[in-house]
Chains A and B, each alone.
Chain A
Amino acid sequence: MTDTSDIPLLAIKDLTVEFKTRSGVVEALHEVGFEVHKREMVGVVGESGSGKSVTAYTVMGILDRAGRATGGSANFGGFEMIGARERDLRELRGREASMIFQSPRTALNPIRKVGAQIEDVLLQHTQVHHRDVKQKAIDLLAQVRILRPEQRYHAYPYELSGGMCQRVMIAIALACEPALLIADEPTTGLDVTTQKATMDIVRDLTSARNMAAILITHDLGLAARYCQRIVVMQSGEVVESAPTDVLFSDPQHPYTKKLIQATPRPDSRLEDLSDVAKDDERVSAATASTELEVEGEAPPLLEVRGLVKEYPLHETAERRRVMDRILRPNLTPSPSVFRAVDAIDFVVGSGESVGLVGESGCGKSTTSSMVTRLLDPTEGTILFDGEDIGAIPARKFARHPLRAAIQMVFQDPTESLNPRFSAFDAIAEPLRRLGAPMDRTSLAHTIEELATMVGLPTELLTRFPHQLSGGQKARVGIARAIALRPKLLILDEPTSALDVSVQAVVLLLLDRLRRELGMTYIFVSHDLNVVRLLCDRVIVMNEGRIVETGKASELLTNPKEDYTRALVEAIPHFGQSEGMPTLEGSVA
C-alpha cells in the first residue's frame, strides 16, 4: 500500500522548537525529521512529553505563544510552513491540511448545532453555494457513518456520544478535501470498539480520497494496525523511523524495544514486562513465582447478590413519559428510572484477583462504587466476610470498622490526590483517621516503609501532587490504599492515565504487593490485555448486566459470548492482520 512516489507530501527536516518557561528556555524538539507521502498513514508514537503533539502543532502553525521554531523546515507540497505568514497558513489549514484533536467534545463549539459547524468550514474555504451547503454537510455526516444524518444535523454536541463527536470532527476535518489529515490522539477516552469504528472511518475515508494522514498516538498497537510507517519519538527527538512490519520484527533503538516490550499483548505475561522495570531500579521485580496459589475453591470474601442501582431519569424524559401515557395510552410505558446496574451476582474469593471489564456506561464503575460503599445500592446485598455491608448507608460507613478493610486505587492519580496535601499527608490520612493511634515518629516510620514498598523515594514525601510525575502520583495513590492493609482492594483503571512503560512498572508493583500482603483485588478496566496480566478471573459487563464470567486465560482467548468476542477483537495490537470482524451494530 505504501506509495513510493519520490516527492513527499510533507517533509519535515531538522525541526527544532524551543519553549520559554519560568526556568529558562527548554528545547521541546531537537532536529526532528520525517516525511509523509501521498496515500500513506504515518504513525508518530511516543510517551507523554516526547514532542509528538508539538511537532504537529508547529507544522500547522498553531503553537502557543511561548513556543518558537528556531530551526528546520516543514515543506508541505512545495510550501514552507515554518515561518509562513499567518494569513497564508490560515488559508492552508482546513483546506489543504486539517487536524482532529484528542477530546472531540471540547473541540466542538457546545452551543452550535453540529451541522452548522460543518457548514462554517465549508463556507470559509470552498465555493460551496449557500443553497447547497446544507446538503453537503449532511452528505459528510453520512460519510462518517452517522446514522440518520438529516436528524443529527440538528444535534448539539452534548446530545452525541464521544465517538459521535469525534466522527463529526472527522467530517469537519475532511469537509474541504484536504491533502493531509493530522489526527492527534483521536481515540483517547473512547472505548475499544468505538476506537476501532472511528479509526476505520479515518482509514477508509483517507484512502478513498488519496489523502495522507499522520496518526499521533501513545498506543503502539493502534499505530501498528492502521499505519504503514511508524516514527518513534523520545524526548523531542526521532529515535527510529521504519515501515510498520520492520519496526516490530526488528526494532533497532533500545527505546523502541522498551516500548514494544512494555505494551501488553494478548500472549504476553507479567514476566515479559519485568525487563522494562529493570530500568526502574526501585522496583525489585521479583516475579519469578507468578504461579497463583488460589485455585477455585477459596472462601468467598465478597458476595454480591441481586445488586441494583437505579437513577431517576432526566426531567424532560419524565415529562415525555407522562405525555406519552396521555397521548398514546395503549403504548407500554417506558421506565421512569435508568438501571445502571441491573441485578448482578458475583463472588470474589479471598486472595483472588478478579477483573471487571466492559465499555464505558456498562455499570462497572457504579458497581465498584457500591462495593467500596461510596454509593448506596437500590436493591441487593453486598456480603463482605459474611456481613451485609450494603445495608449500611454510605454516609455512615466512614465510621464503620470495616472501612479500613475495603480500599480503592483511583483512576486518575492527579485528581484523586488533594492538591493541598503533601505525599506524606496523603498517605498518612487513612492511618490518622482509621489506623491504630501512633505517635509521630512511628507514623513517619510507617509511611516511609509504605513509600519504600511502592517504590516511591522517601525524599519525595514532602512534595505536593503537582510536583510529582504521573507514575509517582500513582504510587502515592497505591501507598495510600494499602496503608491500612485492606483485605479487599478495588483498582479502578489504575494505569489508564499512565504511559506504557510506567504502566508496566505499576502492574508489576501491584502484582508483587498482592502476593506480599495477601490482598484480594477487584480490577476494573476496559483494557483486556492489562486485565489478563493481573487477574485470575474476569467478569464482563454490558448495559448493567454480567455477560460472561470465566477464567481470564480462557475467556479472553476463547470467548463464548459475541459481546466479549467483539471486545477482544477490537483491541489493536501489533502482529495482527487487517480485516478483523467488525462490530457495526453496537457502535453506530
Chain B
Amino acid sequence: MNRLREKFAELKSSGGKALVFYLMAGDPDIPTTLDIIKGLDESGVDAIELGIPFSDPMADGPSIQAAAHRALGKGMTVRKCLDLVRSVREFSSIPIVLMTYFNPILHYGIERFAKDAVDAGADATILTDLSPEEAKDWVSASKRNDLGTIFLVAPTSTNERIKRAGDISTGFVYCVSRTGVTGAQSDTPTDLPTLVNRVKSMVGAPVCVGFGISEPRHVEEITRYADGAVVGSALVNLITKHQGSEKLIGEVKKYAMAMKNATRHDETPPRT
C-alpha cells in the first residue's frame, strides 16, 4: 500500500497532525540531501516533498529558485532524483512526494515517469503548473501505476474548483495559504482558517497547508484547523545557511523536532 495514504490513515486514527518538509534534491549535493532526509525522518517528520529542480520555477520565490539553480548547476537530473529516492528507500520508509513543474515530466514521458517513480519508491507527485484541466493523462498514468496525485487549491479557488482538485487528489490536498509564490513569511494570513474550513467541507482527502510557514507558532496554529503543515523555503534557507558545516544535520534536526512538537497540542503534551 502507498506509504502516504498509510501515513495519513495512521495519523487520523491517532489524532495526530502531519508535518511535511520540502527540500530540493541535490542542493547542495546528493549525499547531503540523503543525510538531511535521514535527519528529518529521525526527527518525526511525517513526509518529504522532494523538489526536482526546474530551470524556470515561476511559482517559487527567491529561496527555492536559488536552490533549483544550485541543484541544476551540480548536474541534477530527473533520473538522478529518482535514484536519490531509491537510495532513501535503503534506510527509510518515510512517504516521499516528488514536487516539480510539468515540463521535466512531460519530456521524460508521462507513463514512463509514473512507472519509474513508483519503482524508485516515490509515493505521489505535486506538479505546480499542471492545472486539473490539463491533468487527465497524468492522472490516468498515475492511477495505473499507483502513484498518488496531489493538486493545489488557493485562496482564489472557487468551490467548484476545490471539489475538482479534491476528486483527483490522493494522499492529501495542498492548500496554498496565500496568493503569491513560495517563501518564508512572518505571519499566517488572517483569513486562513476560513479558507481551510471551506476546503475541508468540500474534499474527502486530508488538507495540508503550505506557503509561508516557517516557525513553530505557525505550525501550532495551522494544525489546529488543518490536517497538516508543509514547510519549504524555511528549511531550504536553513540548509543554505549551514551548508558545508558539520552543524548542518544537527540544526536541521533541532528545527524539525521543534516544528513537529508544534503539531502536538491536543491530547499529547509537548515533548522536548
Bound together? no
Which residues from chain A sit less than 8 Å from chain B, CB to CB?
none
